[in-house]
Amino acid sequence: MADTARHPFLQGLSKHRGAPPTVVVIFGASGDLTARKLIPAVYNLAHDNLLPADFFLVGFGRKAIPDEEFRGLAADAIKEFSRRELKTDVWDRLAPHTSYVAGGYDEPAAFTRLAAHLDAIEKQLGRAVQPLFYISTPPTVFAPIIRNLGASGLASRYLGQPHQAKVIIEKPFGRDLDSARALNATIQSVFAEPQVFRIDHYLGKETVQDLLVQRFANSIFEPLWNRNFISSVQITVAEEVGVGTRGGYYEQSGCLRDMIQNHTMQLVALTAMEPPVSLEAEAIRDEKVKLLRAIQPLNLGPSGDVARAQYGAGMVAGKQVPGYLAEEGINPESATETYAALRLSINNWRWQGVPFYLRSGKRLARRVSEIAVTFRRPPGTLFAEGDKFDLSANTLAFQIQPDEGMHLVVNTKIPGLETRTQPVKMSFRYRTTFGSNTAEAYERLVLDAMIGDGTLFIRGDETEASWKLCSPVLEVWEAAGREGMQSYAAGSWGPTGADALLARDQRAWRQP
Ligand SMILES: NC(=O)c1ccc[n+]([C@@H]2O[C@H](COP(=O)([O-])OP(=O)(O)OC[C@H]3O[C@@H](n4cnc5c(N)ncnc54)[C@H](OP(=O)(O)O)[C@@H]3O)[C@@H](O)[C@H]2O)c1
C-alpha cells in the first residue's frame, strides 16, 4: 500500500521543486560524514525524483581513487546508511553520473583539474551546470579550499545568475569569535553571501521547521508568546553516548562549542524571534540575528549564569561506563567540559524577565532534544494547590529528537464525584500521524542549497552574534582550567551546579 493511502495526511505534502542541472562536488569525499549522511541524502533525493534530470556527483580528496572504486564506496555507503535500501533502477541512474577527482585541498593545480572536469561534464551535456561545492573536511582546510575555489574561478562560475556557484560549509564554524570572523572574511573575499550555505543540520529537522509553523500558522499560540504569559523556557540537547572513539576531536571542542554555540542557540533564535515579514530566507535570518543580539552578556562570576561539568563513571542503559577522564584519547587532567548549562536573559520588549535555560551534555540519562515553554501559573483563587488540586503550570514542549512531536501539559479534572485535578499531556507525534520514513535533515538541506534557498542555513552575522555570547565563557573557562569544573555521574541528568542555576530562580529542570 502506498504511504499516502496508509497516512492520509501525507497527501499533498510532496512538493516537487525544480533545481537546475547541478553538479555536487564533495570535498572530503572519503570521510565519515560523506558516507553516513551525504551520499545517502543524494540517493534518497534521487529515489524521490527530487534531483534535476541532469545531476552529477563528484568526490574530491587527497587519495587517488578511480571513478569505479568511488562508485563502489558510494553504493556501500547507501547499503549501510541509507534509510531506504539500494534499488538498482535508482542507482543505475545515479552511478554513471558519479565520478572522482584527486588532489590536495591547498594545491591550486588540483582545482584547475576540477574546473576542467566540470567543463567536460558541461560539454558532454551541452548546457550550463550549476556547481554546488560541499566542504566536508576537518575545519583546518576550510579556508584553503575556499581560497582555491576563488583563485581557480570556480567560485565565480555563473555569478549573478540563478545557477551561480554555491558552497555548503560544515560545522564547526570557527572555535571562537575571532576565528569565526576570520573565516567569514575569507568566505566573503571569494563568495557573495547568497552563494554561501553554512550548515547546522538541526535546522533541517522536521520539528525545528515545525516550530515556525506552530508559532505563526496557529493563532492560539502567538498572542501568548511573551513575558505576560510565559514564565520561562528550557532547551535541552541531551546525549546518552560518551565521546566514544572521538576523544581526540572532543578534547579540542567541548560541549559549548560542539552543541550550545550552534544548535542550541539556533533553537533559542527560532523560539524567541519576532514574526518575520515573510518566509524569505533574509526576513527570517534578520529576525534571528536581531534576537541573538538582544541576549544580554552572561554573568560569568561565581553564582553567575553558567555551569560546566565532566561526566564521571556511572550506569547507562544498564551498563557500567567509564568517566570522561578515563576515556580513550582523553588527557587525565583535561579541562574540557562534557556538559554546559546557561541562563540567558533576552533584553527586548517581548522577553524581558523571562529566563531561557539551556543545557547540553554527553552521558546524560537519555538522548533527547526538546524546547519546553512553561506558562505562568493560573491565579490560585479557584483551584488553590493542595491535596485535591495538583495544579501544574501549562507547558508546551517541542520534542526535536527522538520521537519527534509536540506535547501540551494541561490541568484536567479527574473523573469522580469530587473535584480533583491532575496535569495530563496532550501529544502529537510525527511517527503516528505521518509515518516514520521521513526525509533526513541532510536531504532537505542539500536540496534547499541546490535551489538557492538559504532559510535553513546560518548567515555570517548570526554565527558572529552567537560567538559573541559564547566566546567570553570559553575564555573564562580556559583561564580557570579545572578549577570549578563539576562532575556528574554518567546516566544522570547533570551536575548540581546546573540545578543551582535554576534553584536561584525557584525553578528546577524538567525531566524530558
Ligand atoms: N561525522 C559527522 O557525523 C559530522 C556531523 C556534523 C558535522 N560534521 C563535520 O563535517 C566535516 C567532515 O566530518 P567527517 O567526520 O567526515 O570528517 P573526517 O572523516 O575526519 O574527514 C573527512 C575527509 O577530509 C579529509 N581529511 C581528513 N583529515 C584531514 C586533514 N587533517 N587535512 C586535510 N584533509 C583531511 C579526508 O579525506 P582525504 O584523505 O580523502 O582527503 C577525510 O576523509 C567536519 O567539519 C565535521 O566537523 C561531521
Q: Could you give the domains of the chain?
A: 20-170 (3.40.50.720), 203-503 (3.30.360.10)
Closest ligand 1 atom to Cα of 139: 45
Q: State the closest ligand 1 atom to the C-alpha of 37, by its place in the atom list counted from 1.
A: 3
Q: Single out the catalytic residue among 47, 163, 201, 263.
A: 263
What is the reported pLDDT for 3?
Answer: 43
* Parallel, antiparallel or unpaired: strands 55-61 and 22-27: parallel
Ligand 1 pocket test, candidate residues 25, 30, 32, 133, most atoms within 8 A of CB:
32
Index of the ligand 1 atom closest to the CA of residue 35: 16
108 lines ligand 1 (CB under 6 A): no
Q: Does 104 contact ligand 1 (Cβ within 6 A)?
A: no
So what's the pLDDT on residue 351? 98
Q: Is 16 a catalytic residue?
A: no
Q: What is the pLDDT of residue 439?
A: 82
Q: Is 36 exposed, middle or buried (0-12, 13-18, 19+ CB in 10 A)?
A: middle
Q: Name the residue among 265, 328, 319 with its Cα closest to residue 469.
A: 265
Q: Is 408 close to ligand 1, i.e. is its CB under 6 Å away?
A: no
CA of 137 to the centre of ligand 1 (A): 4
Rounded Cα distance, 232 and 214, in Å: 18
- Rounded-to-integer distance, Cα 145 and Cα 312, Å: 40
Is the Cβ atom of 30 under 6 angstroms away from ligand 1?
yes
Residue 61, ligand 1, Cβ within 6 A: yes
User: In which residue are the cell numbers 551546579 written?
Assistant: 497
Q: Is 266 in the pocket of ligand 1 (CB under 6 A)?
A: no
For residues 28 and 136, the answer to whether their CB atoms sit within 8 Å is yes
C-alpha 192 to ligand 1 mean position (Å): 25
Nearest-CA residue for ligand 1 atom 11 is: 136
The verdict on the CB of residue 62 being under 6 Å from ligand 1 is yes
Closest CA to 170 of 193, 189, 145, 142: 142
171 lines ligand 1 (CB under 6 A): yes
Q: What was the pLDDT predicted at 317? A: 85
Please report the pLDDT score of residue 2 as a whole number: 40
225: its cell numbers: 508568546
- What backbone phi and psi angles, to 5 degrees, belong to 51? -85, 150
d(C-alpha 303, C-alpha 221), whole Å: 34
Q: Is 344 exposed, middle or buried (0-12, 13-18, 19+ CB in 10 A)?
A: buried
* Cβ pair 417, 388 in contact under 8 A: no
Write out residues in the chain with pLDDT < 70, as ranges: 1-17, 385
Query: Would you say how long the chain is, in residues?
Result: 512
> Using CA positions, which residue lies closest to atom 48 of ligand 1?
33
Is residue 139 classed as helix, strand or coil in its secondary structure?
helix
- Beta-bridge partner residues of 130: 22
Mutational test site, ligand 1, from 69, 105, 137, max ligand atoms within 8 Å of CB? 137
pLDDT reported for residue 436: 72
Q: Could you please report the per-residue DSSP string of 41-107?
A: HHHHHHHTT-S-SSEEEEEEESS---HHHHHHHHHHHHHHH-SSPPPHHHHHHHGGGEEEEE--TT-
**pLDDT score, position 10:** 40
State the pLDDT at residue 17: 59
User: 278 CB under 6 A from ligand 1?
Assistant: no
pTM (2 decimals)? 0.93
Nearest-CA residue for atom 7 of ligand 1: 171
Atom of ligand 1 nearest to the CA of 201: 6
Q: Is the peptide bond before 402 cis (omega within 30 degrees of 0)?
A: yes
Q: Which of 167, 188, 190 is CA-nearest to residue 25?
A: 167
